[in-house]
Amino acid sequence: MDRTLFPEIFALAVFIVGFRPLARRVGAHANLWFIGWGIFVLYLLVLLVDAPNRLITHLLAQWALLAAGLVFLRASGNSPKSRIGWRLIALIAFPSMMLAVLDIYQVKHVIPLVATCLLFLAPAVYLLIRPRQRTMPVAYICATFAIFGVAMIPVVLHSPHVAEQGSLTLVYLSTAYLYFISQDEHSRGAIAATVGFAAWGVICPLSLGISYLFPAVKIDRSILDLPVYFVVVGIILNLLEEHVERTERLAMHDPLTDLPNRRMFEERLIATMEEARINRTTVACLVIDVDNFKMINDTLGHEAGDQLLRALAVRLSWHMTPRDILARTGGDEFTALLAGVTDEHHLRFIAGAMMSAGSVPIIIDGKPVDLHISIGIALSPDHADDIDSLRRAADQAMYTAKRRGGSSLAFADED
């Protein structure tokens, strides 16, 4: 029994126990990381076992290490542009696991050795048959495995062990590549995890090369385990960053429509009005309210009302520029901030386009639901020169539009 593994198993067990609550908060995609680390701990536990048949123990350990890498590979594709499906993972896993069998049981027959290498072409063939599954990062990975399979044909005939270690290396290097490109921002955590996965992959051929060239040299296991800890630290940092970003987003965005909420809108309004005051430009505040929303809720139900608000949020967003902001500031109330409005005609055109988009029936449960909105408009500095007064003027203008029968717009200086 290798007692030197106990500290590593204990450290990883503590990491997994602490990792689980964080994974729940970040999202469902983090569960795959939890599973991968669980499989890796299983790999370490298998190494502890003094089984009568050491070949089976060795095979199970190799399979567990490979399975952990494949789960990490699947978890690394955390965006539509880099997601790799389970079918492709299975097509990569089968020949890799077969190489482990051929290596450990020292199979010398040409046919199974060559056939196993040729099976690495299967992921690339699958992508050719199923083009919808194809993205450039996944295509690169599948092409790399195909090239690897062909290149390993002469190698596997002399040393299945080299081919088996090569497939393991490729899995972890692919994980490093996919993890890196799937990150929106390359933070310290993302870089640390990427370097860790790449080093984890390189360790395999490095240790293999040293054992062949310098048989007397024994590499301390603590050195070989360094990439694992790089990955652990990097993933924890990255998940913490994701959790903080998600928490901040929830604090500043409406969960139903994913638009900015009142708090974020007011912060942006303060900054925009200060900038407009310095540059002597005009800022428009629009308060948009759904006509007869309570009746829609009472008639069709709250779920239908939520669908209507989500659809309206999308339609109103069509008319926003990068400098503008649209927020949900009440139950059925939206507020828009338009910066740099040139004149009243320009503003009326934008507001009219919003009303047209909001007047098209929305399909809910296969049935069209009529929708109408009222818009109140206030300008700074024409109608108000401070935040509260501008917001209040736009709100009063909206009620003016409501008194006219709804489905209309009104400016703050109109009766």
Q: Is residue 221 over pLDDT 70?
A: no
Q: How far apart are CA 59 and CA 103, in angstroms?
A: 9
What local confidence, expressed as pLDDT, does residue 383 receive? Answer: 83
Q: Tens of pLDDT along 360-380?
A: 888 887 788 888 889 999 888
Parallel, antiparallel, or unpaired: how do β-strands 333-339 and 283-290 relate? antiparallel
What local confidence, expressed as pLDDT, does residue 177 receive? Answer: 93
* Shared-domain flag, residues 270 and 155: no
Tell me, yes or no, whether 257 lies in a domain.
no
* Shared-domain flag, residues 194 and 331: no
Please give the C-alpha separations between residue 377 and each of 14, 118, 238, 383, in angstroms, as whole numbers: 57, 68, 43, 9
Tell me which of 358 and 163 has the higher pLDDT.
163
The number of distinct structural domains making up the chain is: 2
Tell me, yes or no, whether 46 lies in a domain.
yes
Phi and psi angles of residue 176, each rounded to the nearest 5 degrees, phi first: -60, -45
What local confidence, expressed as pLDDT, does residue 408 receive? Answer: 85
Mean pLDDT of the chain: 84
Tell me, yes or no, whether 342 lies in a domain.
yes
Q: Is residue 391 over pLDDT 60?
A: yes
> Which CATH number do you get for residue 367?
3.30.70.270
Tell me, yes or no, whether 336 lies in a domain.
yes
Q: Tens of pLDDT along 309-330?
A: 898 888 888 888 888 889 998 8
Q: Is residue 51 over pLDDT 80?
A: no
Percent of the chain at pLDDT above 90?
A: 24
Phi and psi angles of residue 337, each rounded to the nearest 5 degrees, phi first: -115, 120
What local confidence, expressed as pLDDT, does residue 226 receive? Answer: 79
Q: DSSP assignment of 53-99, as one string? A: -HHHHHHHHHHHHHHHHHHHHHHH--STTT---HHHHHHHHHHHHHH
* Shared-domain flag, residues 319 and 358: yes
406: left (phi over 0), alpha (psi -120 to 50) or beta: left
Percent of the chain at pLDDT above 70?
A: 90
* Shared-domain flag, residues 243 and 117: yes
Mean pLDDT comparison of 60-64, 214-218, 383-387, highest-scoring range = 60-64
Tell me, yes or no, whether 39 lies in a domain.
yes
Among 198, 218, 252, the domain boundary falls at 252
* Shared-domain flag, residues 273 and 222: no
* Shared-domain flag, residues 196 and 310: no
* Shared-domain flag, residues 177 and 306: no
* Shared-domain flag, residues 273 and 143: no
Tell me, yes or no, whether 135 lies in a domain.
yes
- Collapsing DSSP states into helix, strand and coil, what is residue 369? strand
Residue 348 lies in domain: 262-411
Determine the distance from the C-alpha atom of residue 300 to the mean position of all C-alpha atoms in its chain, rounded to a whole number. 34
Q: How far apart are CA 355 and CA 374, in angstroms?
A: 8
Predicted confidence band of residue 113 (pLDDT cuts 50, 70, 90): very high
What local confidence, expressed as pLDDT, does residue 20 receive? Answer: 66
Tell me, yes or no, whether 382 lies in a domain.
yes
Among 190, 225, 252, the domain boundary falls at 252
* Shared-domain flag, residues 247 and 281: no
Radius of gyration for the chain, computed over Cα atoms and rounded to the nearest angstrom: 30
* Shared-domain flag, residues 235 and 354: no
Q: Is residue 149 over pLDDT 60?
A: yes
Among 228, 252, 276, the domain boundary falls at 252
Q: How far apart are CA 93 and CA 88, in angstroms?
A: 8
What local confidence, expressed as pLDDT, does residue 214 receive? Answer: 67
* Shared-domain flag, residues 232 and 86: yes
* Shared-domain flag, residues 238 and 271: no
pTM of the model: 0.66
Q: Tens of pLDDT along 262-311?
A: 888 888 888 888 888 888 888 888 999 988 888 888 888 888 888 888 98
